[in-house]
Amino acid sequence: MGITRQGKRIKRREVLKESKWHKKEFYKIIEELDYVSSLLHLEGVELTEDNIEEEVSKVSEVKLGAMEKMVLLNKQRKRDGGDQSE
């Protein structure tokens, strides 16, 4: 096997390992948000865009970005019976 082929395989393996790590981190965040959502649901908290950071900080230390806020609001809407605005 040539040296260049070995180098390409090593490089590809590194890229796959990094991708796997990013995927695991993403699923950890999603799992944590699901847990937070279920805790807030049990407490009967009504999440809005205004109070979401305050309510989440009471039960978890998750840093909320735009994606996390969207996921939590969608999870609550789904648990409350879907989108009733239509």
Structural domain boundaries, residue 30: 3-77
Residue 36 belongs to a domain = yes
pLDDT digits (tens, 9 = 90+) for 5-61: 888 999 999 999 999 999 999 999 999 999 999 998 888 888 888 888 898 888 888
Residue 55 sits at the vertex; the CA angle it makes with 44 and 48, to the nearest 5 degrees, is 75
- Dist. CA 85–CA 22, nearest whole Å: 36
Residue 65 belongs to a domain = yes
CA 23 and chain centroid, separation: 11
pLDDT digits (tens, 9 = 90+) for 60-85: 888 888 889 999 999 888 887 765 55
Residue 84 belongs to a domain = no
The whole-model pTM stands at: 0.71
Residue 10 belongs to a domain = yes
What is the tally of structural domains in the chain? 1
Q: How confident is the model at residue 86, as a pLDDT?
A: 44
- Dist. CA 35–CA 33, nearest whole Å: 5
